[in-house]
């Protein structure tokens, strides 16, 4: 199956009986990139990832993974899609050895050396039952099951949840290693922004079911600024600025978060509104908060 981008979602909408969880979502992830998927709780990240994993269907729009519909994909196509759910994945009585045995049988390309190295690194015993593993080790096992199949697309839903900082960094290093050694494309959702900053080539911020931004991290940081205007001589202006996605006004000042615009600088705003104005770059966390709070 031919494809340009390994992950594509076009105008995807989905609801679960209430308001839409995803609403005209458009998402494209380039080959061999690491895409960080951010959003508040309930923003639709897990729904989008479950759709990409072929567990649910869109009500409207099209979902493509490696050029095919993941919901109808058979074993041949599915062997190249790695998925790690945000929830514990297996009944407690299942032994680690049973899980790995099934994986070895199902995946011709299964990397046994990687599986053994990672089980040893994360100190997960083969005879252990799933219920006896800590929540963190259960996550690590799920990660091993997704990564050792040498996928072309790796979908990770909150991979670092329940993990200590050391394990989190090790997981991120493993993801980077996988990208370095293979043709893998990674899409991962997280609330931990430092993880995104550490590894992601591109980030998408999902709010109310649609992507507010989707671009490389550096470009995003360069392109979004916050202007703080105060000391108005003619009162606080009510004017809307093009490209502003959040404006907060008090009696004395205005704070505007917006994409950089050649005609809008602190000096031009100071002249326009007869005030003082300063601008500052935003951290990823600030950008995330501003975009998530934006209701438009």
Partner 1 sequence: MNKNKQLWALIKFQLSVYPLIALVVMPLAIGAMFYSNSIVYLVNLHYDPPLDQMLSEQNLFLVAIFGMALLAPEIARTAASAQIPTGSEFVLTRAVDRPLVLRSRAVLYYFVVLILPLIALPLAATQPSLQVGEFSATAQQQVIEALPGSMAMDGAPYESRHDILVPHGAVLVAAWRFWVILAVAIIGEAFVMLIYPFQWRRWLLWVGFFLLVFASTSFLIFADHSSKHVTFTKRMFFGFVAHQPVIWLCTLAALVMAHLWGERRFAGAEQ
269 Cα distance to chain centroid: 35
DSSP states along 238-261: -PPPTTEEEEEE-SSEEEEEEE-B
b/e code 4-41 from CB counts within 10 Å (16+ = b): ebbbbbeebbbeeeeebbbbebebbbeeebbbbbbbbe
Residues 141-180 that bind partner 1 (CB under 8 A): 145, 149
- 142, 188 contact by CB (below 8 A): no
User: Toward partner 1, which CB reaches closer, 149 or 292?
Assistant: 149
**DSSP H or E segment with residue 51:** helix 45-52
Residues 51-110 that bind partner 1 (CB under 8 A): 53-57, 74-76, 78-79, 81, 83, 85, 87-95, 98-99, 101-103, 105-108
x/- string (CB under 8 A) for partner 1, residues 22-51? ----------------------------x-
Task: Please state the closest distance from residue 75 (CB atom) to partner 1, in A.
Answer: 4
178 Cα distance to chain centroid: 18
Task: Please state the closest distance from residue 25 (CB atom) to partner 1, in A.
Answer: 17
User: Toward partner 1, which CB reaches closer, 92 or 177?
Assistant: 92
Does position 128 interact with partner 1 (CB under 8 A)? The reply is: no
DSSP for residue 162: T
Task: Please state the closest distance from residue 44 (CB atom) to partner 1, in A.
Answer: 16
User: Toward partner 1, which CB reaches closer, 185 or 257?
Assistant: 185
User: Toward partner 1, which CB reaches closer, 79 or 189?
Assistant: 79
Interatomic CA distance for residues 32 and 12, integer angstroms: 23
Instruction: Characterize the bridge pairing of strands 7-15 and 20-29.
Output: antiparallel
Task: Please state the closest distance from residue 154 (CB atom) to partner 1, in A.
Answer: 12
Task: Please state the closest distance from residue 252 (CB atom) to partner 1, in A.
Answer: 49
User: Toward partner 1, which CB reaches closer, 71 or 245?
Assistant: 71
Task: Please state the closest distance from residue 77 (CB atom) to partner 1, in A.
Answer: 9
CA distances from 255 to 33, 133, 238 (A): 34, 48, 12
Tokens linked to 22: 């995803």
For residues 38, 44, 46, 52, the Cα torsion angle rounded to the nearest 10 degrees is -100
Task: Please state the closest distance from residue 79 (CB atom) to partner 1, in A.
Answer: 4
Applying CB under 8 A, the residues found at the interface with partner 1 are: 17, 50, 53-57, 74-76, 78-79, 81, 83, 85, 87-95, 98-99, 101-103, 105-108, 145, 149
């Amino acid at each position: 199956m031919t494809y340009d981008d390994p992950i594509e979602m076009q105008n995807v909408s989905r609801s679960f009986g209430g308001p839409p969880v995803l609403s005209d979502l458009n998402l494209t992830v380039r080959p061999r990139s690491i895409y960080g998927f951010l959003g508040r709780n309930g923003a639709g990240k897990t729904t989008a990832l479950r759709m990409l994993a072929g567990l649910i269907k869109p009500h409207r729009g099209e979902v493509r993974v490696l050029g095919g519909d993941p919901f109808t994909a058979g074993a041949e196509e599915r062997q190249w899609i790695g998925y790690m759910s945000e929830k514990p994945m297996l009944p407690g009585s299942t032994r680690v050895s049973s899980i790995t045995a099934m994986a070895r049988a199902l995946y011709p390309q299964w990397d046994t050396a990687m599986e053994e190295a990672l089980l040893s690194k994360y100190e997960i015993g083969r005879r252990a039952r799933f219920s006896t593993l800590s929540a963190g080790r259960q996550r690590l096992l799920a990660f091993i099951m997704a990564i050792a199949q040498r996928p072309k697309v790796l979908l990770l839903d909150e991979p670092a949840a329940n993990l200590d900082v050391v394990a989190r960094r090790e997981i991120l290093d493993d993801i980077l290693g996988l990208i370095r050694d293979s043709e893998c494309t990674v899409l991962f959702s997280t609330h931990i922004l430092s993880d995104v900053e550490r590894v992601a080539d591109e980030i998408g911020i999902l709010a109310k079911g649609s992507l507010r931004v989707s671009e490389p991290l550096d470009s995003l940081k360069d392109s979004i600024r916050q202007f703080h205007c105060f000391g108005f001589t003619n009162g606080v202006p009510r004017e809307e600025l093009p490209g502003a996605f959040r404006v907060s006004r008090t009696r004395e000042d205005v704070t505007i978060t917006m994409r950089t615009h050649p005609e809008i600088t602190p000096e031009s705003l100071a002249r326009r509104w007869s005030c003082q104005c300063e601008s500052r770059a935003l951290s990823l966390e600030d950008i995330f908060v501003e975009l998530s709070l934006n209701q438009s």
